């Protein structure tokens, strides 16, 4: 991402109030129900509602986003809810490099970077670790409520699992939800 992305997202979040408690994404709740909390990495976390929810479930979360303004609001929201187990990291995902084999869980919701994220995620997951990924499918572009300006932010049919050839796919689906059309993936890094 370029500095222009940082400026765009900082401008989007500037002047906003501390977010009220937002529910986590349903897909994330479904995906982690049976997992034992450990270390989690939430990439492109935005205002942090999923990271805060994970923290409240017992996960130790590193939440990464390019917007310092958004992360400041997320941190204030976490404090207001008594969640202290999230570390907020302002970083450009084009250059961010988490420690290898560190995370039991990595989450990505509504963000796509085909070039960088797959290798970053595969390296950062511990053996046996889980990836939970949901982002826009190409079908979203045909919706009347579409807000995306480019098809480069959407996945082709059946593309998401192909981005992670070294992970074991546990669940994959492409669905039309009331507010978006998405591809969803739960995958696991093979244990050694």
Kindly state the tokens that stand for 15: 């002047």
Whichever domain contains 36, its CATH number is 3.40.50.150
More confident residue, 177 or 79: 79
Q: Which pTM value belongs to this model?
A: 0.90
CA separation (Å) from 186 to 11, 75, 166, 172?
33, 27, 13, 7
Coil, strand or helix at 90: strand
**What is the average pLDDT across 38-52?**
96
pLDDT for res 23: 86
Please, are residues 93 and 1 in contact by the beta-carbon 8 Å criterion? yes
Residue 88's nearest CA partner among 109, 68, 111 is 68
Q: Which domain holds residue 115?
A: 3-10+19-188
Total number of domains constituting the chain: 1
86-90/125-136 β-pairing: unpaired
Confidence of residue 1 (pLDDT cuts 50, 70, 90): very low
Q: Mean pLDDT for the chain?
A: 89
Average pLDDT over residues 105-110: 96
The whole-number pLDDT of residue 57 equals 96
Which pLDDT band, with edges at 50, 70 and 90, does 18 fall under? low
Sequence length of the chain is 192
Question: What pLDDT, in 10s, does the model give residues 131-162?
Answer: 999 998 877 766 667 776 777 778 889 999 99
pLDDT average, residue stretch 108-120:
94
For residue 10, is pLDDT > 60? no
| Residue tagged 């994959």 (tokens) | 172
């Amino acid at each position: 991402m370029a500095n222009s992305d940082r400026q765009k997202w900082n401008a989007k979040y500037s002047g906003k109030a501390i977010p009220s408690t937002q529910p986590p994404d349903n897909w994330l709740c479904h995906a982690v129900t049976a997992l034992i909390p450990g270390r989690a990495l939430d990439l492109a976390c935005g205002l942090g509602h999923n990271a805060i929810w994970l923290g409240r479930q017992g996960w130790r979360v590193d939440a990464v986003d390019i917007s310092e303004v958004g992360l400041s609001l997320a941190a204030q929201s976490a404090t207001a809810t008594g969640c202290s187990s999230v570390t907020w990291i302002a970083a450009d995902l084009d250059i961010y490099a988490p420690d290898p084999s560190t995370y039991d869980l990595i989450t990505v919701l509504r963000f796509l970077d085909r070039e960088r994220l797959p290798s970053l995620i595969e390296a950062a997951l511990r053996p046996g670790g889980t990836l939970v990924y949901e982002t826009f499918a190409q079908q979203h572009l045909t919706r009347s409520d579409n807000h995306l300006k480019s098809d480069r932010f959407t996945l082709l049919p059946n593309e998401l699992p192909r981005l992670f050839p070294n992970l074991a796919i546990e669940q994959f689906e492409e669905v039309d939800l009331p507010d978006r059309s998405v591809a969803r993936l739960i995958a696991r890094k093979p244990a050694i």
